[in-house]
Amino acid sequence: MTWTGWLLALLQTTLFVACAPLLAIWIKRNKCFWQNRRAPRYVQPYRDLIKLFRKQVVLAENASPLFRMAPYIVFAATIVAAATVPLVATELPTTAIADMLVLIGFLALARFFLALAGMDIGTAFGGMGASREVSLASLAEPALLMVVFTIAMSVQSTNLSNAMTHLLESGLVLRPSLLFALLGLLLVAVAETGRVPVDNPATHLELTMLHEAMILEYSGRHLALMEWAAQLKLMIFGVLIANIFFPWGIATEFTAAALATGLAAVAVKLALLGAILAIAETALAKMRLFQVPQFLNLAFLLALLGALTHIILEAGT
Amino acid sequence: MNIAQISLQEQAIIFSAALVLFTSFALLAQQRILASIHVFAWQGFLVATTTALIALVSGQHHLYYSALLTLVLKALLLPWMLHELVRRLGIVHHVETVVQPAMILLAAAALVVFSYYVALPIEKLSSLSTRNTIAISMAVVLIGMLIMVSRRQAVSQVIGFMSMENGLFFVAVVSTHGMPMVVELGIAFDVLVAAVLFGVFFFQIRDSIESLDVDQLNRLSESVEPDGTAE
């Protein structure tokens, strides 16, 4: 691999990490618009992060070293996961060495430490949040893997970069399997990133918290890292949906013009996706926790249907 | 027949066939009566669209009439009749309770695999461009049956029956490019008459057992009240 490739990969990952709060605030501003509220400014999430980084860390007396390590591990694992996702350009060295299964693995690693940290202090909320998160993850992950397999069957590769290039080269083909995979991935993404029908990221109401319950004990820079990681995860799923199913515009060569087009394309796609998410979050009510398994079952079924329609309708000789 | 090698119209046929299968699953998962009538209407619309697309690709002009008939009957008239019926029975907000919804959905996925397995030899014999969708259309028939089996409410069972009929029509269109017009008209009127008769039956059932839950028909409670006293 060339130097430019690695440099671009580094730049892309930095961009990924730096823009994650921007996507979060974009969704929040859209939600504010639909809900007739005054919106915070675009710099607000960055200010929040800076504020949290400056603040003193308050630790519980019985916090183990794991509790202190967890934010760094979660943040690092999420960054590495983000590095494997092509954002602006395909064929980067970081995307070549990892495929979708590795990506899911890194996200699972982050979740594992998040759940451990939630249980570490021994408060009721942390344990409850961790148990909920893990039980939902055990349903979301098979669905996510099924989506990956469906995509892999169509493009004959689990590598994200190869998948995008393959879909770009084959042009406009109406593949029902990819439609089902897209719907399945949308549902899984909502569940995994804790957005509205499954979890509400803006609330700290005791009985409904999922993600927030686990990080309740964190403060200062630890909390900043955890929140940043959550924003990053949202961005990862957004980019996955935007770039796998609508790969048009992504740069396949390392020229300035192609990269600029890629950047503009992904920005437009993410903005659209964020606006749709904001409308959906405004229109839908949060569902009861016991209905979430049904929701994820639907996601799994959609992905399975994608795989079946691929075999029945699209393969053939 | 790889999907990347066929024309865009043929891809559209396959795409809408997959959507018909999806509406079948949606019917199976949907527990609200009104919503399932709407899904049924969409299924009829998609079957009509697929038929029209097949007519366009294959140049069989009589299929346009079939498509039009399906559109008017399955996507507009029958849903409207069911809608009226549900409104007059006063069960607009009725929610069906399905036992083990997740298992039933997985059973439906298994039915899709089964119909693929069954349709495989037929597909080898056929040379039509729509041969891949035979399995899908058979799955729609089987899932229609599954809807009838898994539901207790008479109206939902009738929706399952109609969805099965959609599937049968779909099988005929994709495997042989449609039945003779006379047969098709006959079936269409049969379904229409069936819908009217079902409507009459609903009122009869409700008058005699004061519910549309057909499970209650299993009990012989004509002469004996639930508490054991003779009428």
Instruction: Mark out chain B residues that contact chain A at CB-CB < 8 A.
Output: 1-4, 8, 11-12, 14-15, 17-19, 21-22, 25, 29, 101-102, 105-106, 109, 112-113, 116, 132-133, 135-136
- CA dist B140 and B164 (Å) reads 7
A129 Cα to chain B: minimum distance (Å): 25
Which of chain A's residues have a Cβ under 8 Å away from the Cβ of B57?
A: none
CB contact under 8 A, A301 and B1: no
Which member of B12, B15, B112 has the closest CB to residue A308? B112
What are the pLDDT digits (tens) for A159-170?
888 888 888 888
What are the pLDDT digits (tens) for A121-179?
888 888 998 999 999 999 999 999 999 999 998 888 888 888 888 888 887 888 899 99
The pLDDT of residue A26 is above 60: yes
CB contact under 8 A, A180 and B18: yes
Residue A172 touches chain B, beta carbons under 8 Å? yes
Residue A264 φ/ψ, nearest 5 degrees:
-65, -40
Residue A159 touches chain B, beta carbons under 8 Å? no
| Structure tokens given for B69 | 């008939």
Confidence grade of residue A209 (pLDDT, cut at 50, 70, 90): confident
List the one residue out of A220, A192, A266, A200 whose CA is nearest residue A23: A266
Which of chain A's residues have a Cβ under 8 Å away from the Cβ of B1?
A: 316-317
What does the pLDDT read at residue B136?
A: 92
CB contact under 8 A, A301 and B17: no
What does the pLDDT read at residue B222?
A: 57
What are the pLDDT digits (tens) for B50-100?
999 999 988 888 889 889 999 999 899 999 999 998 888 888 887 877 788
Residue spans of the domains in chain B: they are: 3-213
Q: Would you report the helix, strand and coil content of chain A in percent, each value rounded to 5?
A: 75, 0, 25
| DSSP classification of residue A246 | S
Q: What is the pTM of this model?
A: 0.90
What does the pLDDT read at residue B114?
A: 94
Nearby residues of A180 by Cβ (< 8 Å), 6 or more positions away: A150, A302, A303, A305, A306, A309, B18, B22
How much is the mean pLDDT over chain A?
A: 90
What does the pLDDT read at residue A72?
A: 96
Which of chain A's residues have a Cβ under 8 Å away from the Cβ of B21?
A: 305, 309
Answer yes or no: are the C-beta atoms of A252 and A91 closer than 8 Å.
yes
Which of chain B's residues have a Cβ under 8 Å away from the Cβ of A146?
A: none
Low-confidence ranges of chain B (pLDDT < 70): 1, 219-231
Residue % of chain B over a pLDDT of 70? 94
Answer yes or no: are the C-beta atoms of A176 and A309 closer than 8 Å.
yes
CB contact under 8 A, A173 and B11: yes
- CA dist A176 and B14 (Å) reads 8
What are the pLDDT digits (tens) for A275-304?
999 999 999 888 888 888 889 999 999 999
- CA dist A184 and A44 (Å) reads 32
Answer yes or no: are the C-beta atoms of B138 and B116 closer than 8 Å.
no
Nearby residues of B132 by Cβ (< 8 Å), 6 or more positions away: A312, A313, A316, B1, B14, B123
Answer yes or no: are the C-beta atoms of B172 and B138 closer than 8 Å.
no
- CA dist B90 and B94 (Å) reads 9
